[in-house]
């Protein structure tokens, strides 16, 4: 595998890309256009600054910022200095960010100034500005320095410019020697995820796992030199950082980071930058197809779309191919605890397989489906998805109990997802274990019902939850987004559903909404729906 032999580690990959693709455009961010040689130089400068700030191999360095050139340089610089990257969700409030910083015992934080009208610095100071420590945030005694991506910074914090200047005394030889001491079996990042329950837990992934997984991803997707990749998926998420930044470094593709999803901006970027690759959740692509100004933009350069969700309407796959001329549309499935990738469709799979499944296990991994007692289930039977292979995390950071709970006694990772394998090994995710509800003794899987609802020509989006029912125990309630201009009523949709699915699957209640609440990764926030009034 090329990732194991040629690169070895993420800093090795960065240096290799700087040399092999030196004059190729690496990053386009606003008016800034940077070659791979230029990106390599900036990453080494950031690594020098980390070293000058006292970052040692194995120290945790957090980045809390939207997609940008600075994020790429800061993250890769920290990892090149031997640090373990801890990406923070840009949707976090101050207290949530403080929890992850405390839990990971991060020594250095690189943070944006103001984003979407919110001062991240101010929110963090409110959450961790008091305590026994004597650093920039007393409530976080392990945190020794906070660097702000801005022209000025509060007292005891440092600007990005001054931080970089602090590394000028560290020579290129020192930086490269530090990077060379990083080993493939060392942790490269800790991605905090809530998993199925409780507070966020940090999945520890190594350099070798990251490189092998995203060499596979790039191969299966067909990513190639000269591609221009619009990265809307957030960098704090594996889909944005690894299937985005890391994969582009491997193939010499151009990264075009977009900090906030806006359909109009995406359309403009595709046309202006001749974008050829656009991964993202199905809702992203649906919004582009339905945008009233779509035909005013030249989208002819788009050739590759990779998406993933429990529900990927067949109509979406067909429209991407027929209306936009996208040659390759693929679906995939992954989770942070398995390096972000478990299964993936292959180029050449029929549209029905791409829309109805997440493809087959990637090379070097195995997938099985089991019942509640852990017994292996045959093809066609739903159960919990288990994973084993090179991509599975080392464990949750400093949490032996949670790690033990995440694995079966014989070493399979419990994903917490319900799925079905077909005879060819294609996996269809039907739901989270905790989202399943029981209607009169029958197991109902919301994602299966959602997929069926989205086949209705006047349904643009749908989410289903179980709600209490005096007679049946639970029944389905569907939150539905109508297609633009549709007069669809609840009675119409329920009547249609009775013709299309088994009675126990039919939603008894319909709530029409302008949009579904989603997180930055595109997943529907079911907890928010459950909290709404009846």
Give the other-Cβ count within 10 Å of 92's Cβ: 21
Give the pLDDT of residue 462. Answer: 94
Are residues 247 and 277 located together in one domain of the fold? Answer: yes
What does the pLDDT average to over 361-369?
97
Torsion of CA 187, 190, 191, 196, to 10 degrees: 100
Q: Say what percent of the chain tops pLDDT 90.
A: 73
Question: What is the number of structural domains in the chain?
Answer: 3
**Could you tell me the CATH number of the domain that includes residue 351?**
3.40.50.12780
Are residues 422 and 471 located together in one domain of the fold? Answer: no
DSSP state of 362: P
Higher pLDDT, 445 or 183: 183
Are residues 53 and 85 located together in one domain of the fold? Answer: yes
Are residues 35 and 95 located together in one domain of the fold? Answer: yes
Distance CA 61, CA 54 (A): 11
**Could you tell me the CATH number of the domain that includes residue 32?**
3.40.50.980
Residue 322 lies in a domain: yes
Which stretches of 294-395 are DSSP H helices? 314-324, 351-356
311 has pLDDT over 80: no
Closest CA to 146 of 168, 171, 170, 129: 129
Give the pLDDT of residue 199. Answer: 74
Are residues 325 and 230 located together in one domain of the fold? Answer: yes
Are residues 238 and 351 located together in one domain of the fold? Answer: yes
Token pair for residue 340?
A: 């972000």
Distance CA 305, CA 229 (A): 10
Contacts of 284 (CB under 8 A, 6+ apart): 232, 261, 263, 266, 278, 307, 522
Domain boundary residue, one of 432, 463, 488:
432
Q: Distance between alpha carbon 207 and the CA centroid of its chain, in Å?
A: 18
The answer to which of 41-50, 107-116, 407-416, 443-452 has the lowest mean pLDDT is: 443-452
Placement of tokens 């410019």 in the chain: 161
Domain boundary residue, one of 432, 452, 482:
432
Are residues 461 and 321 located together in one domain of the fold? Answer: no
Q: Is residue 86 within 8 Å of 62, Cβ to Cβ?
A: yes
**Could you tell me the CATH number of the domain that includes residue 445?**
3.30.300.30
Are residues 409 and 493 located together in one domain of the fold? Answer: no
The answer to which of 194-208, 302-316, 409-423 has the lowest mean pLDDT is: 194-208
Give the pLDDT of residue 25. Answer: 98
Residue pLDDT, tens place only, 196-214? 345 789 999 999 999 999 9
Residue 471 lies in a domain: yes
Give the pLDDT of residue 133. Answer: 72
533 has pLDDT over 80: no
Give the pLDDT of residue 312. Answer: 78
Residue pLDDT, tens place only, 470-490? 777 789 999 999 999 999 999
Domain of residue 281, residue span: 203-432
Strand order across the 343-344 sheet: 304-307, 328-333, 343-344, 360-361
Q: Distance between alpha carbon 505 and the CA centroid of its chain, in Å?
A: 30
Are residues 427 and 440 located together in one domain of the fold? Answer: no
Are residues 117 and 250 located together in one domain of the fold? Answer: no
Residue 112 lies in a domain: yes
Are residues 283 and 380 located together in one domain of the fold? Answer: yes
Contacts of 142 (CB under 8 A, 6+ apart): 101, 102, 105, 106, 107, 133
Higher pLDDT, 452 or 458: 458
Domain boundary residue, one of 183, 213, 244:
183
Are residues 369 and 459 located together in one domain of the fold? Answer: no
Residue 195 lies in a domain: no
């Amino acid at each position: 595998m090329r990732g194991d032999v040629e690169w070895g580690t993420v800093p090795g990959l960065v240096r290799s890309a700087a040399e092999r693709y030196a004059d190729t455009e690496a990053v386009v961010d606003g008016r800034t256009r940077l070659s791979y040689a230029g990106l390599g130089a900036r990453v080494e400068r950031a690594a020098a600054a980390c070293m000058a700030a006292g970052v040692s191999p194995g120290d945790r360095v957090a980045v809390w910022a939207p997609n940008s050139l600075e994020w790429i340089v800061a993250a890769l610089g920290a990892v090149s200095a031997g640090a373990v990257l801890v990406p923070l969700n840009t949707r976090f409030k101050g207290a949530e960010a403080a929890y992850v910083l405390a839990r990971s015992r991060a020594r250095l934080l690189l943070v944006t100034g103001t984003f979407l009208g919110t001062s991240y610095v101010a929110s963090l100071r409110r959450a961790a500005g008091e305590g026994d420590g004597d650093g920039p945030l007393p409530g976080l005694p392990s945190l020794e320095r906070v660097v702000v991506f801005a022209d000025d910074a509060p007292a005891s914090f440092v600007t990005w410019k001054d931080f970089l200047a602090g590394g000028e005394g560290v020579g290129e030889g020192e930086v490269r020697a530090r990077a060379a001491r990083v080993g493939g079996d060392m942790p490269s990042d800790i991605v905090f995820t809530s998993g199925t329950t409780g507070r966020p837990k940090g999945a520890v992934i190594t350099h070798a796992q990251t490189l092998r997984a995203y060499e596979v991803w790039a191969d299966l997707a067909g990513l190639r030199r000269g591609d221009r990749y619009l990265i809307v998926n957030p960098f704090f998420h594996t889909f944005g950082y690894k299937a985005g930044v890391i994969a582009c470094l491997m193939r010499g593709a151009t990264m075009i980071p977009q900090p906030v999803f806006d359909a109009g901006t995406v359309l403009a970027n595709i046309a202006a930058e001749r974008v050829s690759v656009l991964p993202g959740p199905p809702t992203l692509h649906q919004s582009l197809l339905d945008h009233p100004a779509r035909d005013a933009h030249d989208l002819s350069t788009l050739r590759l779309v990779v998406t993933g969700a429990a529900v990927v309407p067949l109509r979406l796959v067909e429209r991407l191919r027929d209306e936009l001329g996208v040659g390759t549309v693929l679906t995939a499935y992954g989770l942070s605890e398995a390096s972000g990738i478990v299964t993936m469709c292959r180029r050449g799979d029929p549209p029905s397989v791409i829309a109805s499944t997440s493809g087959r296990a990637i090379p070097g991994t195995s997938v099985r489906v089991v019942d509640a007692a852990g017994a292996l289930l045959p093809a066609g039977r739903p159960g919990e998805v288990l994973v084993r292979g090179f991509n599975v995390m080392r464990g949750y950071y400093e949490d032996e109990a949670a790690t033990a709970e995440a694995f079966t006694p014989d070493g399979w990772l419990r994903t917490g997802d319900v799925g079905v394998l077909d005879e060819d090994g294609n996996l269809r995710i039907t739901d989270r274990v905790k989202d399943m509800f029981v209607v009169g003794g029958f197991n109902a899987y919301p994602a299966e019902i959602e997929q069926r609802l989205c086949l209705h020509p006047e349904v643009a989006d749908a989410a289903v939850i179980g709600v209490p029912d005096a007679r049946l125990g639970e029944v389905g309630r569907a939150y539905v987004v109508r297609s633009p201009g549709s007069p669809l009523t609840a009675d119409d949709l329920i009547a249609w559903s009775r013709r299309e699915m088994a009675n126990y699957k039919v939603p008894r209640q319909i709530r029409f909404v302008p949009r579904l609440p989603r997180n930055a990764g595109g997943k529907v926030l079911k907890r928010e729906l459950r909290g709404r009034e009846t």
